[in-house]
Amino acid sequence: MASSGAAANIAVLLGLGIAGIFLAARRLRRPARPDHGAFIARLELLPPPQPPPPQARHPLTDLCFAIADALHVSGYITSFGSPEWERTHDAASQTSPVVSALVNGGAICVGKTVIDEMAYSIHGDNKHFDTPTNPAAPDRVPGGCSSGSAVAVAAGIVDFALGIDSIGGVRIPGAYCGVLAFRPSHAIVSNSGVIPVAPSLDTVGWFARDPSVLRRVGHLLLRLPYADVRQPRHFYIVDDCFELSKIPARKLTQVVTKSVEKLFGTNLLLVNTFFLPGQVTRMNLENYLASKVPSLKNYSNGQENADSKRSSLLALCNAMRLLHKCEFKDQHMEWINSVKAAVDARIVSNLSNDADSVIDSCQDTRNEVRLALNALLKDDGILVIPTALGCPPKLNARELSSESYNSQTLCLSSIASMSGCCQVSIPLGTHDKCPISVSFIARHGGDRFLLDTTQTMYATIQEQAEILAKSNVSSKQAMNEEAAETAKEKGNAAFKEKQWQKAVNFYTEAIKLNGKVATYYSNRAAAFLELASYRQAEADCSSAIDLDPKIVKAYLRRGTAREMLGYYKEAVEDFNHALVLEPMNKTAAVAINRLKKLFP
């Protein structure tokens, strides 16, 4: 009897174990849902009839879209990611003007999408409505707060979708789901008819797979009249932001630099007295912000000594988080206190500390950061940063609750959130089978310029990303190329400090590692010129020209070297060649006039 009872107990335990295994497997597989769990409610808002000919059709004709469930639609209760909010609020009496503008522009609204509870998180998880399934990486989070909208676009259910972005709520899910995501300049698109999160940071943004759709939606919402497309003149690759990325920086930045080269030319060299400014500049945003935004020292939390390399970005992130928290509390704490048990405990605990007295100081920081970035970018500059730290975290991963991980992610999104600048996240293919992306930021009010630049560059960026993905470059060669770029940057820094011989040594190291880059020879020639080593400079310029016959700066430098060596005829030929390549090059024109006067 005892043995039979024991056998029965073992059978029960085995059965429970097997059942547990099956349950776990079911959770891991995340069974497919028809709409990937993106929608909270399906609806249909139809556009007005088309105007009679010869008037043009509505600009968004034949497009359909979805909206995050923080935007009001007349007759529907806006859930704000919370069943309790839905239970305690009435149906909207008016539709958000942004939604109405899109419908009146010819698009069909087909539903409301899942957001993080009260739009507070950046991960895309929601315990009430379940986490939408990321179509690009089903075992990973979709990103939030506008998770459902990003998923609906990535899955091809809609052509575009609206989301809300305070601290990354559109940009992060766009990056995680592998679609285009646009955060407009703050206060450029109306927030009327949208539940506020943190008004100083809130924007209505949008997602699309096609850059032309992204641009068409933007032109309608921004009410932009026709104007000629303005080309970007300066790309600032922010090295310290790419140092935060878990993806090899070269994999992201090379796609951008190659795309710029192909579309706009090869002016990618160090700026000095011998040639004109280039189109791509590598910069340290930490140092720039530290010098231009004095109020950031109020938010360092003592971290400048612990991590001085990133103290400015961390301070900016801290200021953004404080502002986000204070304004969120101001908007919603009364309601939260009335239903506290029904709100995610993580939200409640996060709001339990920090005084509201810092809000004025945060506003000062916002103004300073906007002025600093507008001064840097002007009307034709683009700041290039990674959108997120890397691949989206796995579902229930430790990173989701890691303060360090969240803080570093928000360091990247704080740049546009706190400055109010516009930002677009552009997919760059995959890494470890997960979507990766890069972001372009333009000055506040530069939305048209950023949308146009995105459309101009998108196809080339995708082409270069594919070329890089398919390249059969050996790992050793790739490492050498990356090391060569590092050596070149050290040479550039030494040159700026007027340490000429040190610069020569670094450029020589870069050439040994990768001797097929004209820039390395041309930059070393600049250093040789400063050392009065004119024959070495001439030889380096000739090597650069052999590699790239259109490298204007090498002709200018070789002309300078030959002039100093007394080869005046050859010098004039070099300066003339530079003028052929760049007819407006003042350095070449001045040199030719000087030589003609000396040797008519």
* pLDDT higher than threshold 90 for residue 8: no
- Alpha-helical runs (H) found in 42-157: 83-87, 97-104, 147-154
- Rounded CA-CA distance 537/557 in Å is 8
3-state secondary structure of 100: helix
Cis? peptide before 241, omega within 30° of 0: no
Which of 414, 438, 472 is where one domain is finished? 472
What is the band of 305 on the pLDDT scale with cuts at 50, 70, 90? very low
Prediction pTM value: 0.75
Residue 208 shares a structural domain with residue 61: yes
How many C-beta neighbours within 10 Å does residue 208 have?
24
CATH code for the domain in which residue 144 is found: 3.90.1300.10
Secondary structure (3-state) at 348: helix
Asked whether residue 468 falls in the same domain as residue 483, the answer is no
- Looking at the fold, whether 356 and 491 belong to one and the same domain comes out as no
Lookup: tokens for 12: 């029960």
Q: Same domain, yes or no, for 45 and 121?
A: yes
CB neighbours of 546 closer than 8 A, spacing ≥ 6?
none
Domain identity same for 556 and 525: yes
449 lies in the same domain as 576: no
Q: Are 104 and 170 within one domain?
A: yes
**Looking at residues 296-311, what average pLDDT do you find?**
62
Residue 31 is assigned to a structural domain of this protein: no
Buried b (16+ CB within 10 A) or exposed e, 417-455: bbbbbbbbbbbbbebeebbbbbbbbbbbbbbbbbbbbbb
Same domain, 503 and 417: no
Cβ atoms of 300 and 319 within 8 Å: the answer is no
Residue 262, C-beta contacts closer than 8 angstroms, at least 6 positions apart: 460, 464
What phi and psi values does residue 442 have, to the nearest 5 degrees?
A: -120, 165
Among 427, 445, 472, identify where a domain stops. Answer: 472
- Residue that terminates a domain, selected from 420, 442, 472: 472
Of 62-76, 165-179, 467-481, the one with minimum mean pLDDT is 467-481
- Report the pLDDT value the prediction gives residue 114, as an integer from 0 to 100: 98
Residue 20 resides in a domain: no
Please state, for a pLDDT cut of 70, what percent of the chain lies above it: 89
Judge if 333 and 388 occupy the same domain: yes
What value does the mean pLDDT take over residues 229-237?
91
What pLDDT does 123 receive?
95
Q: What is the CATH number of the domain that holds 588?
A: 1.25.40.10
Least trusted range by pLDDT, from 354-363, 497-506, 519-528, 574-583: 354-363
Asked if residue 9 is part of any domain, the answer here is no
For residue 597, the model assigns a pLDDT of 81
pLDDT beyond 50 at 3: no
Q: Please say if the pLDDT value at position 68 is more than 60.
A: yes
What range defines the domain where residue 558 resides?
A: 479-598
> Residue 461 falls within a domain, yes or no?
yes
Chain segment 90-148, per-residue pLDDT in tens: 999 999 999 999 999 999 999 999 999 999 999 999 999 999 999 999 999 999 999 99
Average pLDDT, stretch 337-362? 80
pLDDT at residue 542 above 90?
yes
Tell me what pLDDT residue 1 has.
42
Answer whether residue 29 is part of any domain: no
Q: What is the mean pLDDT of residues 181-186?
A: 98
Q: Is residue 410 part of a domain?
A: yes
Structure tokens at 250: 């070269």
Tell me how many domains the chain contains: 2
Average pLDDT, the chain: 89
Do residue 60 and residue 120 come from a single domain? Answer: yes
Each residue's pLDDT tens digit, 240-281: 999 999 998 988 999 999 999 889 875 443 333 333 333 789
Are 464 and 483 in the same domain? no
Question: What is the average pLDDT across 354-368?
Answer: 81
Q: What is the pLDDT of residues 522-539, one digit of tens each?
A: 999 999 999 999 999 999
Q: How far apart are CA 302 and CA 311, in angstroms?
A: 9
Q: Which of 198, 246, 179 is nearest to 454 (CA)?
A: 179
Residues 259 and 327 reside in one and the same domain: yes
